[in-house]
Structure 1
């Protein structure tokens, strides 16, 4: 059973959570390509969590790890994603954890309490799915984080090392464009390649495959109906990669006939910027209704659409901000996730009987819910954290659902809200400050995406900078989600420059308010946040003392040439065309255009296998810095879009801290910390493949 996604990602960034891809009946992936950095996937609890590499000390290990500074212990602390469960075998669950020091998939039998490690690869594994009967685990096998691979599967009960089998042996490697698994053993596999664009394939239980969809533009598997006869697809055939339309196909119909059952296109062929997303078919036999997210009233909210009868029901939800939902397992209600001003909460929305339309608040602590699910008995489980409190998987009754072994992460400081007048409206920023009186050295930690948002959620990276005496400011600039469709769509055609206008307004507030020392301002981020950091250094060279860019876009034209196909579609939407069609827009938005104006020292880290922000365009940028003799350092590592090996991530932040120490703050050191929480009990865990 797939859980509610805690956010909507484009190129997700530092603290964004990864979507709930591929549990139970749901789809793994979809049309949205995200430039996700390492902390993006670290903080996620709503899905398969983080992509990671192998090696290193186990998370939560004792001995020398206990003597490490608090910022390192936050990275090493064991984490688990919200467990997804098999729809027809709800005691069988699947989650991701870093307990070995590498994020891998784990199978959990909730009846016996037994936990088994499913995958064990040098660069980790995070994308997986359970079949509805709970008998099989599917997992996506790429190479060293390049995200280009094939689906494999093994029995839930386990397989000997090397005994995993190809799940769809007739399909060559590709980028994933979604997965849906049916009750009869049928699978629907979405693929994206440079040569073909998007193709979607029906895989029969015996392994026979047939292509059922093909288009040059981005598309993805949305989900299968309960009986497996209907397939929902999200597509952008109209050319707007930020606003999808829906198509429902009938599987197993007349060969050669048109399988289309219904279309839903709020863009009206690309003329209007109104998107749709699949939230899931009704989980009840004989019910063809589809839960859909829409933007008809200027924000994301759910509706129920029956593609067979064409009837629809828009839900009246008197809640500000964005709203998502999933079905309760009996179809009688919806579990509603409400996100507003960087926090989230849960509600139950009744669909049947006297309680139809009634909203009931589900008690959750203040902070961020990055994923939630309703169990067959009506219990609600969710992944929660706040800026100060480490993540937990909890139930609405107050219990902790599952704890990994080892010590919990040391706490951090609470998040404060700042609202600043900007050129496009009021800007929301999140502030964490160290003890003492300002002005402080200040890190503007810029989130990625761009279609993502910073929230009141726990993140080891910002907490580390607070430990070292920095104030940390995170800006939900125009382009961020959570503040309405117009705010998200505002960055188009002046990409990067719009976001920096908002960051500049918040920077001026931070200095004027006494929070930030104007001589010690650092701009940094990962993925799209790294891109904005480099762009800020070149377009605002007089205000930044130092820049930190992880897996960034540095040369926009070269990035477009080398990146995965779904991101090319996103860039065409953002820019209004390709580099050949609108070269002036790519030039205006490219950090490489302004590299000769950069004055501050620059630290860049990049994965050599990154398909989202490829290495060649990073080399182009740092090569220009080297030609000038400009102070900079570049760190290359053997992984994709952020390694997420625990030791590797600690190394990268340590390199950033050392760079700041050598170029800006010679006395930089962590401040004394409060004692860690007590160790948790170690649950039963059977190590295997």
Structure 2
């Protein structure tokens, strides 16, 4: 088995979540069976058991505070539309997997929009549907669900207070899906307080719920805000209105969570594609760094004994679940993934400021055939973290460049918010600047440049092939937006709200912006061979709009291949993911194997 396949097949475990009142009971995600599923872990006995077992995998699960129940979200083949089910943590007779039962009888299937479980068995469930918009329901034991919130714009459950009397709701009733406000309500839906940074200023600022204090009678809510041009935490008491800013003087974005006794915060600091952990004492304001290796922390949690567990990796080293006590918390079964090569940083002057890119390259001297692997989101960023996909390209002799274009998180609010109205075109300007640097520096072979990505990265791939047809030798687009107008009409409601925010309206209100940002507009200018993969059940980048794009390629005889698979927005099945990467590599080697760009067909006139 080649190393690149081993990196996908090597068993992995996610960061274990633990029950608030039963910290020895944990829940984690693993691909040990070849499909990502949920697993229960009793730390007291060491016993583990598989909780879910579905053909297309399961990753969305929550433990009840008393550790008695495991809630998990059941959709259909990755379409993200379904209901919450639950099963006992302890399992069935003889350790068999118990039967699942509806966790909230009476609620129809929907897209999930947050879940909070109370210590008395109460559940607060957020839902989203095309018909109803966003709704929030309170489900008390033995009673019918009660709807306490409804709005056409996006909203979701942020958290439930420790005593189960207050609910924090993130909402975008103001119509800007990129910047949420927070409303705290009681269980009957009665409003208690509102925190809204989108009003009264020249710029709209976002808020996020980080969680209520985990202490009886404590109504403090940890809130993320952007008032100083980046994400950072503050403490807000919705009952008194008191806001407590925190003296956390670190560059980059700052997130936080509570230590279990409520006396301190676990600070997650992200800066220039790396991350680290700190402890912030609320009484003294003292900030203490916790020892973690250089790389990326994908999640962290403070335990009752004061230690911190975290999921760490780097581009070179595979993921590990570690503790600040110095021990490894949870080892996956089986073999360890082979290491890859480290990343180096490139800072390139772009039209909107300095662009950060991460570079991996094989042994030897360049220029190399180079894959520009573009991240999704767009509100996300590539980091110095282990990724089997880029490592596979390096193993096959390609350099890999990942660009944190405008719209990416991690570089301040202005960088993220720059992505409006000229959607797609802005990101491609930054990618073009990095591409020019990669060629001029001798890293990349200008005749063998591959534009690739999934989701929003797949969208930018198709848009780039049409708007920059002379720049790319090949395109690899996974689960992309291909026809922006059709995608808007077919996608889930929350994404429609995001598109209205990014483009300033609906396709009917701003048709010129949708046309300018749609890959379909430029499909007749595409010269490079195109490989497209798509999940037939995808609610985010639906299949019909991809079919429209492919039909246009077929009409003009443009070189392309399409692979459709039975899943949603990507696959949780290891062998399916390996198959997709193998098909992409084979497509690239088939078209670039000679080291020169294939002669393109004559482009047709651009569609108006």
**Is the shorter-chain TM-score for this pair beyond 0.5, marking a shared fold?**
yes
Would you say how many aligned residue pairs link Structure 1 and Structure 2? 593
Matched, 1:576 2:504: yes
Matched, 1:600 2:528: yes
Select which of 268, 277, 287 maps to 1:337.
268
> Residue in 2 aligned with 1:65?
none
> Hey, what's the Cα distance between the residues in 1 that align with 2:47 and 2:180?
41
> Hey, what's the Cα distance between the residues in 2 that align with 1:408 and 1:358?
38
1:43-122 map, 5 Å: 68-122=1-55
Select which of 346, 350, 354 maps to 2:277.
346
Select which of 515, 522, 525 maps to 1:587.
515
CA contact (8 A) 1:534 1:591 kept: yes
Instruction: Let me know the Cα RMSD of the aligned residues.
Output: 1.2
SS at match of 1:457: coil
Matched, 1:547 2:478: no
Q: Displacement, 1:318?
A: 1.0
> Residue in 2 aligned with 1:191?
127
CA contact (8 A) 2:50 2:97 kept: no
Select which of 458, 465, 477 maps to 1:530.
458
1:309-458 map, 5 Å: 309-352=240-283, 356-458=284-386
TM superposition score normalised by structure 1: 0.85
1:238-249 map, 5 Å: 238-249=174-185
TM superposition score normalised by structure 2: 0.96
Q: Displacement, 1:399?
A: 1.1
Deviating above 2 A after TM superposition, structure 1's stretches of 4 or more consecutive aligned residues are: 159-162, 269-272
> Hey, what's the Cα distance between the residues in 2 that align with 1:619 and 1:372?
41
Q: Displacement, 1:479?
A: 0.3
CA contact (8 A) 1:128 1:137 kept: yes
> Hey, what's the Cα distance between the residues in 1 that align with 2:209 and 2:489?
30
Structure 1, unpaired ranges of 5+: 1-67, 253-257, 669-689
> Hey, what's the Cα distance between the residues in 1 that align with 2:593 and 2:550?
23
SS at match of 1:148: coil
> Hey, what's the Cα distance between the residues in 2 that align with 1:617 and 1:524?
19
> Hey, what's the Cα distance between the residues in 2 that align with 1:620 and 1:598?
15
> Residue in 2 aligned with 1:132?
65
Matched, 1:658 2:606: no
CA contact (8 A) 1:661 1:667 kept: no
CA contact (8 A) 1:169 1:207 kept: no
SS at match of 1:650: helix
CA contact (8 A) 2:179 2:198 kept: yes
> Residue in 1 aligned with 2:562?
634
Per-residue deviation, residues 297-353 of structure 1 (Å, max 9, x unmatched): 00000000000000010111110000000000000100000000000000000012x
> Hey, what's the Cα distance between the residues in 2 that align with 1:237 and 1:385?
38
SS at match of 1:201: strand
Per-residue deviation, residues 215-244 of structure 1 (Å, max 9, x unmatched): 000000000000000000000000000000
Q: Displacement, 1:123?
A: 1.2
> Hey, what's the Cα distance between the residues in 1 that align with 2:388 and 2:258?
33
> Residue in 2 aligned with 1:172?
108
> Residue in 2 aligned with 1:142?
75
Structure 2, unpaired ranges of 5+: 597-608
> Hey, what's the Cα distance between the residues in 1 that align with 2:47 and 2:202?
53
> Residue in 1 aligned with 2:220?
289
> Hey, what's the Cα distance between the residues in 1 that align with 2:198 and 2:559?
47
Q: Displacement, 1:271?
A: 6.4
Matched, 1:233 2:164: no
> Residue in 2 aligned with 1:613?
541
> Residue in 1 aligned with 2:415?
487
> Hey, what's the Cα distance between the residues in 1 that align with 2:486 and 2:72?
31
CA contact (8 A) 1:281 1:291 kept: yes
Per-residue deviation, residues 16-61 of structure 1 (Å, max 9, x unmatched): xxxxxxxxxxxxxxxxxxxxxxxxxxxxxxxxxxxxxxxxxxxxxx
Relative contact order (alpha carbons < 8 A, sep ≥ 6): 1 or 2 greater? 1
CA contact (8 A) 1:239 1:270 kept: no
> Residue in 2 aligned with 1:64?
none
Matched, 1:508 2:444: no
> Residue in 1 aligned with 2:602?
none
> Residue in 1 aligned with 2:604?
none
> Hey, what's the Cα distance between the residues in 1 that align with 2:204 and 2:440?
37
> Residue in 2 aligned with 1:202?
138
CA contact (8 A) 1:438 1:515 kept: yes
Q: Displacement, 1:272?
A: 3.2
Pair 1:181–1:77, CA change in 2 (3 A): same
Q: Displacement, 1:643?
A: 1.2
> Hey, what's the Cα distance between the residues in 2 that align with 1:526 and 1:666?
26
Q: Decide which moves more: 607-616 or 206-215.
A: 206-215
SS at match of 2:241: coil
